[in-house]
Amino acid sequence: MSKNSWNHWWPVLAVLGSVTALGLGTSLAKQLFPVIGAQGTSALRVGFAALMLVCIWRPWRWPLNRQQAKSLLAFGVALGCMNLLFYMALRDIPFGIAVAIEFSGPLAVAIYYSRRAVDFVWLALAIVGLALILPLGGNSAGLNLSPVGIASAFGAAICWALYIVLGRRLGSIPSGQAVSLGLLCAALVVVPFGVAEAGAKLLTPSILLFGLMVAAISSALPYTLEMLALRRLPPATFGIALATEPAIAAFMGMLLLSENLTLTQWSAIGCIMAAAMGSAMTRPTNKTTEPDVAAITSN
């Protein structure tokens, strides 16, 4: 491979590596659910991720005014609720399905901010995908899923949409500072739920070590790879690569968690991925629907 080809492809591979790391870290995290619950696992993941990114970025180097602090707090609360609800969804429904449902949040934001005729095609595809997943009418694929898990995934989707919208207001704040402080605020939201769920079990050395590993794989590594890729990829290319996440999550769930999906559920994931990729491909070049600080994905 020539140097020019490598320079062209490595940012795309970095995004795919980020999505794969997210899938691996989340699959490992789910193995903690029987011991400390979804809330406890989320607390460890978000808490350790916040500490790691604060140490890496040292956000105290840049002063904040009151309005920036308020915006960061709202951003962090949305991020914390998104992570907590997503992990609660994972407790009841397969990984790939949870990610596919959650993708409806950022897709809705992209379509809302664009509102062109072609976006109705992507909206229709997303609706078809969700209809195949949800327990509507005689849909047996949807009837096999937990209503609580589906509701939690939709809650995470709403929070992801809010995370993107609120992130748009942080343009004057360096991205490293925004995400590190945002995760710190998110930890303040999530950790109390984790303590209430798991209590002293969270302090077990083996659990702490496992949680640290999960945070590194599913937060620090993906964020670093995505930030490197964002500097070199057009937003459309980045969005297309990121849209592979539902399929990768489904494969990870199948390989590591024995979560075998039906053909209908795979078709639903394919529809939602196609909608996300189509939205990214047809996005106006003079606009972006999400800021750099939204590079860290939900799970």
H/E stretch holding 24: helix 3-30
Distance CA(182)–CA(190), nearest Å, equals 12
Helices (H), 115-231: 119-133, 140-143, 147-167, 175-198, 205-215, 221-230
The structure's pTM equals 0.90
pLDDT at 277: 93
Residue 266 lies in a domain: yes
* Residue pair 238/88 in contact by the 8 Å Cβ criterion: no
Residue 68 lies in a domain: yes
Give the range of the structural domain holding residue 62, as residue numbers without chain letter.
11-295
Q: Kindly give the confidence (pLDDT) of every residue in the chain, 299 residues in length, as a single tens digit, with 9 standing for 90 and above.
A: 556 665 667 888 888 999 999 999 999 999 999 999 999 999 999 999 999 999 988 999 889 999 999 999 999 999 999 999 999 999 999 999 999 999 999 899 888 887 788 888 999 999 999 999 887 766 666 667 899 999 999 999 999 999 989 988 887 888 788 888 999 999 999 999 999 999 999 999 999 999 999 999 998 888 878 877 877 777 778 888 889 999 999 999 999 999 999 999 999 999 999 999 998 888 776 544 444 444 444 56
In sign, the C-alpha dihedral spanning 256, 259, 260, 263 is negative
Residue 60 lies in a domain: yes
pLDDT at 286: 55
Residue 5 lies in a domain: no
Residue 3 lies in a domain: no
Could you tell me which of 184, 160, 190, 201 has the C-alpha nearest to residue 88? 190
* Residue pair 45/168 in contact by the 8 Å Cβ criterion: no
Total tally of structural domains belonging to the chain: 1
Could you tell me which of 253, 207, 242, 270 has the C-alpha nearest to residue 90? 253
Distance CA(67)–CA(40), nearest Å, equals 32
Could you tell me which of 229, 221, 238, 233 has the C-alpha nearest to residue 276? 238
Distance CA(137)–CA(169), nearest Å, equals 41
Residue 1 lies in a domain: no
